[in-house]
Amino acid sequence: MSTLKVGIIGVGGIARFHMPGWEASEYAEVVAGCDVDEAVLRKWGKEFGITRLATDAMELIRDRELDIIDICTPNTYHAPLAIAALEAGKHVLCEKPLAPTTDEIRAIIAARDKSGKMLMTAQHHRFRGSARAMKAEIDTGALGEIYHARSWMLRRAAVPIRPGFIMKQHSGGGPCIDIGVHILDLTLWLMGHPRPVAVSGVARAELAHQEGAFSIWGGPIPPEFDVEEFAAAFVRFENGATLILEVSWMLHHGTEVEDTQLWLYGTKGGCHWPTCEFYASNNVTKQHYDRKLKLVQDTVEPHALECIEFAKAIVEGAPSPVPAEQSLQVMAILEGIYRSQQAGREVWLE
Ligand SMILES: NC(=O)c1ccc[n+]([C@@H]2O[C@H](COP(=O)([O-])OP(=O)(O)OC[C@H]3O[C@@H](n4cnc5c(N)ncnc54)[C@H](O)[C@@H]3O)[C@@H](O)[C@H]2O)c1
């Protein structure tokens, strides 16, 4: 079997994390790259020995020799590129968020259904050994019925100061869209994807516009910053379960850089990520039983593993490792936070 030929669109920061995965894949190889920044493109091409380079994404999308388009551009370009690639008959791996609005994700899903090609959102946290071990344990029924979750990803003055993140026209939103999408995807996946029905949330920028506001990753917060820096939400699911979510790029929170945690509470037990601890109580002995999953060190970095598993799923005819329908649920909640902030009350989701 010949290997699947990959073209990457947007060869900036995250594309570099995909390269080891494509290099390690027995089913796929990168043969082309595209970036609107020609200097970035040339440097990347030279470093990875890729000579088929283009500054216009449509050149890659129309290239008959390519089987897979790997989209690594800022968020607001994901939907038009993904739809064009699917319409051209390519399999699509797309960085998170699949798109920053539910309307765009629905349009991508429609294009996928028409093309019959594989579509996956690059939610790399699902490919961590710790997350997979938790998922396997939870799927045995260890927690019973999960009725509540708490998850957060809170940073202290750690803002990615690049237009693709802090300007709404390129990003679609702030930490909700950037890191909320990570912890929320992981939470819903571990909960078994109950359907969200209502959100009460806030999304605010209280610190970013203060005089002298800074990011530890690159100096002052520029005036172009027009997204939220903090969001919190209470989410209700169709099955009665609830979730409290908090995300921030800058908060006076007791952490050096980032505090990421996820707690699930069920009728039989609770658990915590990333420690992978499970908690239960025995009503007969009146004792608590705590245990920690035994983990083996990840041998493949999760961003790389997601590329490897994507190509493998195509070859094996398996379902998408991260289906777009699940990304749609994630975005429905995040969109609900923005709508709730505007309305000043709980909002119902479609
Ligand atoms: N999974 C993760 O851990 C993770 C981490 C960082 C970023 N991301 C995601 O990856 C994407 C890119 O982020 P990044 O940090 O690599 O940004 P980046 O700015 O480092 O790289 C993006 C590149 O895309 C190029 N680009 C912009 N528009 C383009 C277009 N229309 N066609 C071709 N090239 C274009 C830019 O010139 C730039 O080189 C975002 O969607 C972001 O959310 C994911």
Query: Whose Cα sits closest to atom 15 in ligand 1?
Result: 13
Question: Could you give the 3-state DSSP secondary structure of residue 59?
Answer: helix
Pick the CATH number of 4-125+301-318 from 3.30.479.30, 3.40.50.720, 3.40.50.300, 3.40.50.12780: 3.40.50.720
Ligand 1 within 6 A of 72 CB?
yes
Residue 1 pLDDT exceeds 90: no
Phi-psi region of 346 (alpha: psi -120 to 50; beta: other; left: phi over 0): beta
pLDDT of residue 323: 98
For 126-300+330-348, CATH number?
A: 3.30.360.10
Cis status, amide bond into 274, omega within 30 of 0:
yes
Q: With contact defined as beta carbons under 8 Å apart, do 40 and 12 qualify?
A: yes
Residue 26 pLDDT exceeds 80: yes
pLDDT of residue 2: 84
Ligand 1 within 6 A of 180 CB?
no
Kindly give the distance from the C-alpha atom of residue 248 to the centroid of ligand 1, in angstroms, as a whole number: 20
Query: Taking all residues of the chain, what is their mean pLDDT, rounded to a whole number?
Result: 97
Q: Looking at the CA of residue 177, tell me the nearest atom of ligand 1.
A: 43
pLDDT in tens, 76-89: 999 999 999 999 99
Query: Whose Cα sits closest to atom 27 in ligand 1?
Result: 73
Using CA atoms, how far apart are residues 229 and 171, in angstroms rounded to an integer?
13
pTM of the predicted structure, to 2 decimals: 0.97
Confidence category of residue 296, pLDDT binned at 50, 70, 90: confident
Ligand 1 within 6 A of 132 CB?
no
Kindly give the distance from the C-alpha atom of residue 13 to the centroid of ligand 1, in angstroms, as a whole number: 6
Q: With contact defined as beta carbons under 8 Å apart, do 35 and 98 qualify?
A: no
pLDDT in tens, 309-321: 999 999 999 999 9
> Do the domains spanning 4-125+301-318 and 126-300+330-348 agree at the CATH topology level?
no
Q: Looking at the CA of residue 34, tell me the nearest atom of ligand 1.
A: 33
pLDDT of residue 218: 85
pLDDT in tens, 240-293: 999 999 999 999 999 999 999 999 999 999 999 999 999 999 999 999 999 999
pLDDT in tens, 165-186: 999 999 999 999 999 999 999 9
Q: With contact defined as beta carbons under 8 Å apart, do 250 and 207 qualify?
A: yes
Residue 334 pLDDT exceeds 80: yes
DSSP letter at 319 equals: P
> Domain segments of the chain: what residues?
4-125+301-318, 126-300+330-348
Using CA atoms, how far apart are residues 226 and 232, in angstroms rounded to an integer?
18
Ligand 1 within 6 A of 82 CB?
no
Query: Whose Cα sits closest to atom 25 in ligand 1?
Result: 10
Q: Average of pLDDT values for 107-134? A: 98
